[in-house]
């Protein structure tokens, strides 16, 4: 699918209904339609950056905004004190399903170990 038509781009442009919690000129945050935890928010770059491998030094402000918005969302959702997890997947083996850079914010319950070795 053309990146201009990916689901995140369409949510950013408000062509698809989503529970948008935050939006500015760099990033958009919205609730995941299929939450894995009580709080599952996606924070996506408004600019289409397919994967972490496509990030350049010119994207540093956008990447910083992902984290400052994550902190704002955590406080708003009241998960900042007990904690939460931020996940960015990259490519097939990393579990990336939509090739538009995004961060998952997961919280609202104990999450346990990230990976079992």
Cite the active site residues: 102
Q: β-strand 39-45 against 27-31: which pairing, if any?
A: antiparallel
Distance, CA of 33 to chain centre = 12
Q: Which of 111, 112, 114, 103 is nearest to 52 (CA)?
A: 103
Contacts with 102 (C-beta within 8 Å, 6 or more apart), sequence order: 8, 42, 43, 44, 45, 88
Q: CA–CA separation, 26 vs 102, rounded Å?
A: 12
3-state secondary structure of 70: helix
């Amino acid at each position: 699918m053309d990146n201009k038509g990916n689901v995140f781009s369409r949510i950013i442009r408000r062509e698809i209904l989503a529970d948008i919690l935050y939006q500015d000129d760099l990033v958009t945050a919205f609730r995941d339609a299929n939450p894995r935890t009580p709080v599952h928010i996606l924070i996506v770059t408004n600019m289409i950056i397919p994967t972490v491998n496509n990030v350049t030094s010119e994207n540093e402000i956008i990447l910083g905004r992902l984290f400052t918005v994550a902190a704002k969302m955590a406080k708003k959702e009241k998960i900042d004190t007990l904690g939460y997890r931020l996940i960015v997947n990259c490519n097939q083996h990393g579990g990336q399903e939509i090739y538009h850079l995004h961060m998952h914010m997961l919280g609202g319950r104990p999450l346990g170990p990230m990976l079992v070795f």
